[in-house]
Each structure stands twice: as C-alpha cells, then as structure tokens.
Structure 1
C-alpha cells in the first residue's frame, strides 16, 4: 500500500532538523505556560495569605499556613513523585548525565503544585529551580511521545531546562548560558540551537503572559546607574565578601541536608511542615516586609535600604533558606542567592556612600550577580541574568569584577558544584563528561591502532596476492619491504588486474598504490578522522620514520566510541585477548568448594584474607588467591613480559597464613587486558563457588553503582559474591612473616577490629544467605555484639517481626551468644541503617542485596552505595548466585 500524498508531504516537511525546531518551540511554549501558572498561583495564594493576616493574629496564622502548606506539599511529593523533592536542578543534572532519574509529566505536575504550596506558604525559596525541573520533565515526556535517540532526548531535556530558567527570570540568554555553563558543558550546533529556540520562546511568552520575573525597585527607564574607576576597590571587596559568604552558604546547605537525614527522624511531609512552621514563626515576629520575596526584592533594589535592614534581611534569608533546603522543600536557591547578594551589596554601597558619596544601588544590583554566581558556580549566567533584568550596560564591568572575584573565592573554600554535592549525598557521583571532540583530541593513533598487522611484499606475484586476500577478511594490506612501508594494496587495486588483463605472474608493485597516506603514532584521532573522511579511506597505516608500526581502521574508531559510551576507561583500543596464567601454585584438593580471593592492595589484603579464611574454615572450602597484572591492550597477554616479583611476594605471604590455618590454598597470577575478564575467567576455570573481593566504597564512573569492574562481576559471575568495603581499622598492618604467627585467632583479632555488627534483615534470598555467612564472619571476634534490624515502612500498621526473631534464634543457637533485634519504622532503608550504625558506633554492616537491586536503583533506592558512602565502618555486601 502506497502512502497518501498528505503523509508524504508531512514526512518531507518534518526532516530531523525541522522536527528539532518544532520540538524546541513546543518545549519553550509548554515550559512558559507552566512557569506562568506557577508565578500566578504563587501570587494569588500568597496574596490570600497576606490578606488573611489583616483581621487575624499574625503570630498564629503565618506559622499555621507554613505548617499546613509544607505538610501538604511534602505529602504530595512523597505519595506521587519523590523525584520532585528539593530544588530540582540536581535531578536534571543527574538525568543529563544518564543517571536513571524519572522525569515525566507526573513529576512536572507534582513539582508545579507542591512548589505553589510551599512558596505561597512563606518558604524563602525561589521558582527558578522548580521551573527548570518542570521544563526538563515536560521535554522528557515529549521525547517519549515522539521517539528520539538517547542523545537527542538529552538535548531536549537541556532545552526544557533552559526554557524553564528563561521563563522564570524572563532572561532567554541566561537560560542558554546556564545549560552551557552548569548542565551540559556542550556547545554543539544541535544542542545550542535547540536550547536557543526553547529558551527564547519560553522567555518571551512568559514575559508577555506573566509579567516581569523579579519585582525590582530599580527602573532602567527613569533611573541611571553611573560607574567610576574609583569604585573598583569596593567592587573587589564586594566580590571577596560574596565569595566567602557564598561558600559558607553552600556548606551550610550541605550540612543541613546531612543533619536532617541523620537526626530528624520524620517523614518528608513532617520535615517540610516543620520548616514551614519555622519560616512562619520568623516572618510573624518581623516587619511585614519579610513576608514575601517580592517585597524584599523591591526594597533592596530601590536604593533606600538601611544597613540595619540589610543585615536583618541577609540573616533572615540565609537561615531560612538553609532550613527549607535541608527539609528538601520544593523550591529553588537562585532567587535566595539574588536577595542575599542584594543585601550584601547594599552594605558595601552604604559604606562606599559614606566615604565617597556614591549611589548604593549599583552595589545592590552587582551583589545579586556576584553572590548568585559564586553560590551556584555559574558566574557568566549570573552576569547575564542581572544584565537582562536591568538592561543597563553600566552594570557589565562592575558585574564582571565582582562576580569573577566571588566565584574564584567561593571555589577556593567550597570547590565544586553545589548541585553535584547534593547528588553525592544521595549516593550519585557525576564524572565530568568527556565530549567526543575532547576524546578525539586526547587519544592518539598509537592508543587505538592494531600493532599486529598482516603485510605483503612488493615482490610477490599477483596470483599470490589474490590468494592472500581470499584467505583473509581484510580488504587491504600494507606493502612492506625491509621493514619500510612502500605502498598499500586493496581490493580496488585487484580490480585493475582484470581491467588491464595482467597475467598472474606480474609483481604486486605494478598495481599497488605507492606512497600511501599515513599517520604517525602521535597524531590525534581527530587528525585520523579528518584523513579518513577527506580521502574516503577505510584504513590508514601508522608509520614511524617509514617503519610500519600499526594500522588503524574505521572499525577501530567505532570501537572506541562504543567503549566510551559504555563508560569503561580501560576498554579503549583493540578488543582484549583472554587472560594468561603466568604463575601458579597448587595444593592438594580436599575441600568441599572453592573460594576466589583477588588481591590487589597490600594494605587491605590482610583483612580480606582473614575474612576469606574464616569463611573457608567454616565451610571447608579451598582458597584460590588471584593477582592480576594489566598489560597494554596492544600486547598479547601470552607474549608480554611481566614482572611478578611483588605479586609473588604477596601471594607467598597469603599462602603462609593459609598454612597456619591448615586451609588448602592455590595461587595464580594472570596477565590480562581487563581486570573484569581475568576475574570472570578465573571463576570459570576454577569452578569457583564463592568470590570475595574488595571495593573502595565509591565510584566516579557514570552509570555505575560500584564501578566498572565490580558492577560487571556482580552481574556476570556465576557464583556467590561477597563484596567488602574496608572501614576504619579494617587492616592496619601488613601480613606478618610466618615465624611471627602464634595463635591464628589472636592474629585475626589483632588485624581486624570488628566487634559491633549490624545486619539488616529483609527476607529475600540474599538477606538469608548473609545470615548463614555470619557465624563464619563473627569468628573474627571473641565477643561479637550482633544487632539484627528490620526496617518497616510507615504505611505498615502492624510490624511482623517473625522473620527477625527467626534469624536471631538461628544465630543464638550457632554462636551461643546474645543477639539483639531492632524493628525500625522509616521511609528509607539506607538512611535508617546509616543512622543506627552511626548512633551505635558499629564496626561492620552486613547487607544482603539482589543483583537487580544493586544495579538498577537510583537516587532513593541505591542502598549499598548510600550506606558505604555515609559510613566509615566496614560494609559487607552479599549476593547469592541465581539458580
């Protein structure tokens, strides 16, 4: 069936570029409408709140409204979209880094309503963070309705964020700059073009329908700002103070979030409600000016503020912003940053006015950009926001002086993005993304080329050349004489044989391409790509002083890009060959199973070995100790020369310890291109039943929970896995020589200070498997203090502790020691476990977690990562092999 003419016309009209333009305009329109609705709803509800205070007692109404509005907003977020908690920018930043955080229409609606409730209830937060998340969520929803590639979806989300900021401030250029400076660090033509269209559409429509984004006392049409060089020292002073106070502001917010999660044992609705109550009480005790953002904005930018009021407003805004953000109330921190900067600028302006007789207004406006740029770490965006709001060119130079100074100072005392640190508190680490351009510039031909090259000589016959092509999958061969590259021959060249009707005994040099285009080992991949595209080639010889050292093909380039998208830093270049055993020792086989222990860090090896020996003794297992030596990707593991001195020394020490315990131990050293591959091959070749391996407790690899190696091993290993994050005092000494070992139990106690144990009970197979491992692990201490806990959600009316008591009875019977049971009510399992571990000063936490749970949980569900990151004690994670 042929498509209709109308369908063909629409298909021809909506080319990818035209579709991107349409999507950008649509995103800007929808984001603007959402921003206008949020602006109007906050105004209407806020005016009702203020009007109702006239006939009623202020000291009663404001706290009650703050409490009720905060509780309602928190309940809405908790029940329908937990991703809508907080400011919203961290969530968007994580989503753009390919972290699986939900952004859709439901999140946008919940964010819109909950922010309207909090801001109209008196919370001293802003609209801009929520509008950024709302715009991004609406764009993400659109990308699901109109299927798009992951990269194009990412660009649409960035465009939605730009439109949200532009609509909030009526600053389209600032929306674009925020995406470039903070969210994407990407200025590709498609990303930039999409963001520009969406941002300008959102900013213009929001201004037309919703009016100005900020209510300033400064009117650029009637007031003129003057700048003179003698004011520069005061702008430098303003930048210095703004930087110091912005750094303190950021640290206070992070400290408040940590304190709230660890010590405020309330659900999200109660936490936000409590913050609203505190805000209402503070506003009721202060003049009416403090009851709305617009009043503070107008007063501070009107040029009439006194130094007493400026200090009062700064303290009020600072403290209540920290309180609200610590409770994860829906609302942003950019507008509070502007108000704090305006208050600080007024103080400097009053000082300058008393000395030189200047106008404090220029300092108030300049302070807005300086403090915002320093706290959000977006100085260019802050400069552009203030300029777009005021449209006064006389502000540009003061803004640049103060904003850059403030940014440098703040980054010195509080380095890194505030939003990135907020994500880290939830167990998410973002690594600055390497763009394609940077990747092609950083890598060279030597990094990617294949060193093993099949070559031909110029003196062979054409028949021999045809046979060489028939035996190989290659479409071309370098031609080498005496180690020097003299030409290249391809299938296209062989076609000349038939065309010219050359006999088969003619020499290859008659049809080869002499003096081929080549690259040097140090040439970047960008140069390689240019030559491949410029001359329509599929391969390039790599030569060093005419000597052929390798060859690079288009397939090698594609493999690099694929490896980059997988996030593996050690996967660039040719595919890895199988690992090779370069050294091994064998003991008599008499165990019922086998335990594999990879050893790498000499400082943590003693502790890991003791854990492995304790389990092996309990289960009558043999121990296989593995040392891995990485070799260059372009060298074969079976042919590369490796130095095994240090590895053999570490394995010999491990063997002496196992001999003391009379446990069979085998050792091996594998040369490999990939640590992951070597471990998996050792598991397969040794028929391993249990893998015990260490973990540093964090990862900086995007899209990974534990890291590239551990994630892959957990997912693919066909055996049980025990993952150990060593804590404080886990292994403070190296393995002693054999003649120093007297009592094995005392040696274990000396090397591993593990006395207080905390074990969350969940009821799944991995949790129960962890319970069965405990008797072996607890043999590491003479007087273990064991605490079993089970976390129940607040929705459970009755706590069924049957499983908890059953596991406790099992351990009491095996250990003949007391075991404490602790039922806990909490929204978050990880936060509850962390709180108990810190309160009771536990030495070890043992967590049983499923394969899917470890690898698919994100912000609120990444339990192992959150526990390991926020606890200094040892964390042991157990995963049972799937059947």
Structure 2
C-alpha cells in the first residue's frame, strides 16, 4: 500500500482537471450556503430598519440604519412608548446571548474568519467545519442583524472554506488536496458575497496563497463562477453599489489621486494600530461575555440618536455619492463609523471588516472630494469617482491586496472606465502603508490569534500529515544559480520536483536552480509555515548584489 506522501505526490501531478470539476461542485454548494446567509441577513437588517422607522414615529422617507439624513431620532418616540423600548431591549439581549453562546461553544467562529482560513492553509489552525458553519451563520446573523458594524464578506469566505473542507472530507481527500479545495471554497464565498467572481479568484492567490499557481487559479475561478451563478439566480444582476459614474477622471486631476492615496495609506495604518490597541483594551475584560457586551450596549444610544453608524453600511456609500451630506456631517459620519466598526470587530463578534472598511473608505473619499471642491472648481458629478477611489485606496492600505481591491471595486460598481485611476490610488496607498511599517490586517489578526492560542485545534497527528508546497524561483532571487542543498529547508522537508518549463527534473542536492523554476516541496503540515518562510526568503526575495 502506498504511503500518504507517495499518494500526495502522485495525485498532485494529475489534480488540475479534477480540481476544476470539484471547484464547480464546491462553488454551487458555497453559493447556496452564502446566499442563504445573505438572505437572512437582508431580512434581519430590513426588520431592524423597519423597527427604527416605526420608533421614529413614521418619519419622512428614510433608510433606517442606513442613515439617510432627515430621519428623526427614535429617542423621543421610545421615551413616549416604554413598552416598545422594553421589547427592543429584550430582543437585543437575546441577540447578545445567542452571539455569546456561538462564540463560547465554537471559538473559531469569532471575528472575520479570514485569519482562521489563512492559518489553516499554513498548517497552524484546525477548524471543525461541521461546527463552524452553523455557528458562523447563527452568530453572524444575530450580531450583524442586531446592528453591530460588521460585514458578511469575511464570514462568507470562512463559510466557503468550510464547505470546501467538508466536501474534501466526504470524498476522502488528502491534506494537500483539502487545502486546495478550501481555497476554492474561500474564493467562491467572496464571489457570492460581492457578486464578484474574478475578485474571488484573485483574492485566493493574492490574499491567501500569496503565490501564483495555475492549479489554484483554475480551481478558484471555476468555484467563483459557479458560486456567482447561484448568486445571480438569487439576487439578480444589479451591482452591489449602484453608482451612476458618468465619466473617467481627466488626467489633469490625477495629482489629486496621489494626495488621496497617501492620505488613505496613512489612514489605513492608523486603522490597523487602532484595532490592535482596542483588542488590547478588551483583553483587560476577563470574559468573552463582558467584551461582547460593550458594542451591544452601545447599540442603545446609537439606535436612538445616530443609527447611521449601525450595521454594515451598504447604502451609506450611495448616499454619500448622492451628495446627501455636507462637509461637517461627512466628518462626523466618518468618525462615528470608524470608531464603532473598530469597537464592534475588536470585541470578537462573528462578523468581518471587509464591508465596513470599504464603507469607511467611501466616506473618506467623499469627504476628501467635498473638501477639495471648496478650493478647486471640479464638477460635482465626480464625487461618485472619488467615493470608489476612497474604497479601493483604504482597502489596499489595510488589507494590502491592491490587485484584489481594484478588481473587486470594478466588479462591484460594474464600471471599467476608472480602472486606471483605481490602480493609481491602490498602488500609492499600498506603498504609503508599507513605508509606514503597517502590517497587513489579516496577518496581524492571525499572529495575534496564534499568540493567544498556539495550538488552535491542531494535534500532533494533524501536524504529521504530509502536504505539498509549491514555490517559484524568482529571477535574481537568492537561489537563482545556486545548488539546491544551499537552501537549508527545515528538517523533514524534501524538494520532490523541479519543473523547468515543460521539463520535470529529479532533484538532488547538487541540482542548480534557475530563475523561473517551480519547486514542489514535501513536508509535515506542522512545518508548512516555517518551510514557506524559508522558500519566500530564498526563492522569492531578490538578491542584493
């Protein structure tokens, strides 16, 4: 009988077309799960909006928690109807209790879910998919539906990855194949959450694997497209942000994009530091219930007097683009949304920061445009452009996946005329955040999670599972022109294949590597992260001559 290592090497060489087929299956399943999640969230948020409108005494047309200006404060109406206030407090307490139970029983359902997926792909985390899926759906619905400033996109990525893992378990795949199927599921989850199939596939490469692989790309694309078909069937073809962008920004105004990119990169660095600082403060509270109670209690004053800061804030973007806020109101909205999003996420509730940070970026872009128009004579219809520039720049500065950001915003808006401008802002924001020493937010969150719990569900048996890693040898990298034995991989790791163009070499210690080679490394799952760091340093870092 062949060992698992031999099976892994044999199967990975023939995995491309089976992975595409399996990716399609995972995409459909993920589309069903995530569409269900989206549906119940829409229902919960619609109910919350209706309750706040009712509490406001049937004020003039408004969007409830979306915060269309002009909605009267529900505070006075609540004081006049104490029974309604008591009922809402009971519902809020129920949402808090349900969220706390989910986090207590399944700790890995807390937070965004993207760090957990990235950790499992690195061999550092084990998630029981049969527990995470229901806990994430229930906990996320209660937390986001209650009004916490969280998004559904991170949870959708985790749900998709867990669907992929469950599918892998049912068809009895090996550890390497399981990780590929999890990646397909994660891509499908993002695709269904945003109706953005290309962004889902690119995120799988740029945000999770951080290394180009044709197999991962094809499998992720198949899963993303299949998932998007389901989303189109359920939600239709309307873009997530239905903005009326009239034309591209003229080149004469591109200097304003450079300034905006620098500001957003700096703002993104501040966001990461605020998340870390707030999490440190929350750690002073000994119980999970106490930490979760903070954002839930803040819902009371926010719901009564400033409901615009509640929820994911999807419709805030279009309202800013429709010029429904003056400069001072935009500044207040930005501050409130920024603070409450950080307080909601840092408490550990099941929900993501993907959408809140896009909304904050959109508000920042609108604020920047409104301030610039006080000085320059720029047509007002360009505010739509600057809203999406703010979104992509803030995303690139925090998540540090600029290509994903540009493609995601383009697909979400359904307009390609601003592709160049989006790329400029994303690049400048990325460089600014990098020069300021900012750590990508999901890497920061994963490192913090592993510091608090180094095992994260991993056992010695799981660590001994054999997996395959792939890495390109970059031209001018340290290993370009050097012998394989100079790489010094961790003990128990073995290079089993060197692909040079169409030719596959049988590697030995004296094999000389060349730029463009593709290595396949066999190692224990527990050594994956360490081996990948060495591969990145030796094969994907340019040599200083």
With over 3 angstroms needed to count, the CA separation of the structure-2 counterparts of 1:446 and 1:350, relative to structure 1, is closer
- Residue in structure 2 matched with residue 243 of structure 1 by the alignment: 265
- Residue in structure 1 matched with residue 254 of structure 2 by the alignment: 232
Measured in 2, the distance between the counterparts of 1:176 and 1:198 equals 8
More strand by share: 1
Q: Deviation at 1:410? A: 1.5
Measured in 1, the distance between the counterparts of 2:272 and 2:166 equals 32
Structure 2: any 5+ residue segments left out of the alignment? 1-13, 57-73, 76-84, 456-467, 487-494, 513-518, 534-545
The 8 Å contact of residues 173 and 199 in structure 1, kept in 2 or not, is answered as yes
With over 3 angstroms needed to count, the CA separation of the structure-2 counterparts of 1:305 and 1:217, relative to structure 1, is farther
Equivalent position to 1:390, from 405, 413, 420: 413
- Residue in structure 2 matched with residue 375 of structure 1 by the alignment: 398
Q: Does 2:490 correspond to 1:436?
A: no
- Residue in structure 1 matched with residue 294 of structure 2 by the alignment: 274
- Residue in structure 2 matched with residue 172 of structure 1 by the alignment: 197
- Residue in structure 2 matched with residue 118 of structure 1 by the alignment: 143
The 8 Å contact of residues 217 and 302 in structure 1, kept in 2 or not, is answered as no
Measured in 1, the distance between the counterparts of 2:146 and 2:237 equals 21
Measured in 1, the distance between the counterparts of 2:275 and 2:216 equals 32
Aligned-residue CA RMSD (Å): 3.4
- Residue in structure 1 matched with residue 365 of structure 2 by the alignment: 345
Q: Deviation at 1:302? A: 2.6
Instruction: Summarize the alignment of residues 514-663 of structure 1 with structure 2, pairs less than 5 Å apart.
Output: 565=524
The 8 Å contact of residues 469 and 522 in structure 2, kept in 1 or not, is answered as no
Instruction: Summarize the alignment of residues 824-843 of structure 1 with structure 2, pairs less than 5 Å apart.
Output: none
SS of match in other structure, 1:426: helix
The 8 Å contact of residues 85 and 329 in structure 1, kept in 2 or not, is answered as yes
Q: Deviation at 1:307? A: 1.4
Measured in 1, the distance between the counterparts of 2:195 and 2:373 equals 31
Q: Does 2:428 correspond to 1:405?
A: yes
Q: Deviations over 1:223-249 (max 9, x none)?
A: 513311221121112111111111101
With over 3 angstroms needed to count, the CA separation of the structure-2 counterparts of 1:146 and 1:310, relative to structure 1, is same
Measured in 1, the distance between the counterparts of 2:23 and 2:241 equals 30
- Residue in structure 2 matched with residue 366 of structure 1 by the alignment: 389
- Residue in structure 1 matched with residue 21 of structure 2 by the alignment: 22
- Residue in structure 2 matched with residue 32 of structure 1 by the alignment: 31
Q: Deviation at 1:19? A: 3.4
Q: Does 2:282 correspond to 1:260?
A: yes
- Residue in structure 2 matched with residue 199 of structure 1 by the alignment: 224
Q: Does 2:337 correspond to 1:302?
A: no
With over 3 angstroms needed to count, the CA separation of the structure-2 counterparts of 1:703 and 1:294, relative to structure 1, is closer
Measured in 2, the distance between the counterparts of 1:145 and 1:66 equals 38
Q: Deviation at 1:53? A: 3.2
SS of match in other structure, 2:275: helix
Q: Deviations over 1:747-776 (max 9, x none)?
A: xxxxxxxxxxxxxxxxxxxxxxxxxxxxxx
Asked which structure has the greater CA Rg, the reply is 1
With over 3 angstroms needed to count, the CA separation of the structure-2 counterparts of 1:532 and 1:18, relative to structure 1, is closer
The 8 Å contact of residues 150 and 312 in structure 2, kept in 1 or not, is answered as no
With over 3 angstroms needed to count, the CA separation of the structure-2 counterparts of 1:364 and 1:397, relative to structure 1, is same
The 8 Å contact of residues 32 and 163 in structure 1, kept in 2 or not, is answered as yes
Q: Deviations over 1:251-287 (max 9, x none)?
A: 11111112212x1122x23422331221342232126
- Residue in structure 2 matched with residue 109 of structure 1 by the alignment: 134
The 8 Å contact of residues 30 and 185 in structure 2, kept in 1 or not, is answered as yes
Q: Deviations over 1:123-162 (max 9, x none)?
A: 1111100000000011001101112122211111111110
With over 3 angstroms needed to count, the CA separation of the structure-2 counterparts of 1:135 and 1:527, relative to structure 1, is closer
More displaced 10-residue stretch of structure 1: 415-424 or 293-302:
293-302
Structure 1: any 5+ residue segments left out of the alignment? 1-14, 450-524, 541-549, 554-559, 570-699, 705-883
SS of match in other structure, 1:392: coil
TM-score in terms of structure 1 length:
0.48
Equivalent position to 1:356, from 377, 396, 407: 377
Q: Deviations over 1:468-495 (max 9, x none)?
A: xxxxxxxxxxxxxxxxxxxxxxxxxxxx
Count of residue pairs the alignment pairs up: 460
Measured in 2, the distance between the counterparts of 1:231 and 1:411 equals 25
SS of match in other structure, 1:436: strand
TM-score in terms of structure 2 length:
0.76
Instruction: Summarize the alignment of residues 115-194 of structure 1 with structure 2, pairs less than 5 Å apart.
Output: 115-194=140-219
